[in-house]
């Protein structure tokens, strides 16, 4: 504390102290604002990847439970999960769609690509995967965010799924 001219004590901050505190808060605010975009993109990618893993397991469960193929069909903006009663690998009228996922539902500017035959994979009632035209349907889905970070969801021919 300093004493004023008349002997009174003056409480408070000097202008220099106040400017230093404002500068520190400004630097922290800018750092946080810049990292929010990165955190949102990472969060969106992680959430979409885990949801897709769950949807593959959901499709496998429905196929086994219902005794009918359950298909994941990928589009440019997401994917659909549906029961495929006539084994056409496409969603026809009268077939039950369980879920539609769009990449835009998640933050981070996501996009996806896959290497499944005809962008489609099915689970058979035995729990194995199948491809359109026959054979096993193993493959990989790659999900990318706007920062270029990628996660892969890998499906084996035996129907097991993992994230890489």
Residue 149: predicted pLDDT: 95
Nearest to residue 107, comparing CAs of 143, 140, 75?
143
Give one DSSP letter per residue of the chain, joined into a string. -EE-TTS-EE-S--HHHHHHHHHHHHHHHHHHHHHHHHHHHHHHHHHHHHHHHHHHHHHHHHHHHHTSEEEEEEETTEEEEEEETT--SS--TTPPEEEEEEGGGSSS--EEEE-SGGGEEEE-TTS-EE-TTSS---EEEEEE-TTS-EEEEEE-TTS-EEE-
Q: Are 29 and 90 in contact (CB under 8 A)?
A: no
Minimum mean pLDDT range among 24-28, 92-96, 102-106, 116-120 = 92-96
The yes-or-no verdict on residue 85 having pLDDT over 60 is yes
Rounded Cα distance between 138 and 159, Å, is 7
pLDDT band at 135 (very low <50, low <70, confident <90, very high): confident
Nearest to residue 56, comparing CAs of 136, 138, 111, 132?
138
CATH class for the region spanning 12-163: alpha beta
For the chain, domain boundaries: 12-163
Instruction: Give the number of C-alpha atoms closer than 13 A to the C-alpha of residue 102, restricted to the C-beta side.
Output: 2
Residue 92: predicted pLDDT: 84
Residue 134: predicted pLDDT: 86
pTM: 0.79
């Amino acid at each position: 504390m300093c004493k004023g001219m008349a002997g009174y004590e003056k409480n408070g901050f000097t202008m220099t102290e106040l400017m230093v505190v404002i500068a520190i808060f400004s630097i922290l605010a800018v750092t946080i604002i810049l990292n929010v975009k990165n955190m949102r993109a990472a969060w969106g990618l992680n959430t979409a990847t885990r949801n897709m893993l769950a949807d593959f397991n959901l499709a496998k469960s429905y196929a086994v439970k219902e005794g009918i193929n359950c298909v994941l069909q990928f589009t440019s903006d997401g994917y659909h999960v549906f029961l495929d009663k006539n084994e056409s690998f496409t969603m026809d009228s009268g077939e039950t769609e369980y879920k539609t996922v769009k990449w835009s539902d998640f933050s981070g500017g996501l996009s996806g690509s896959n290497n499944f035959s005809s962008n489609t994979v099915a689970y058979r009632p035995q729990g194995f995967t199948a491809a359109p035209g026959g054979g096993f349907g193993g493959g990989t889905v790659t999900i990318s965010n706007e920062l270029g970070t990628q996660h892969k969801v890998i499906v084996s021919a035996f129907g097991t799924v993992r994230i890489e």
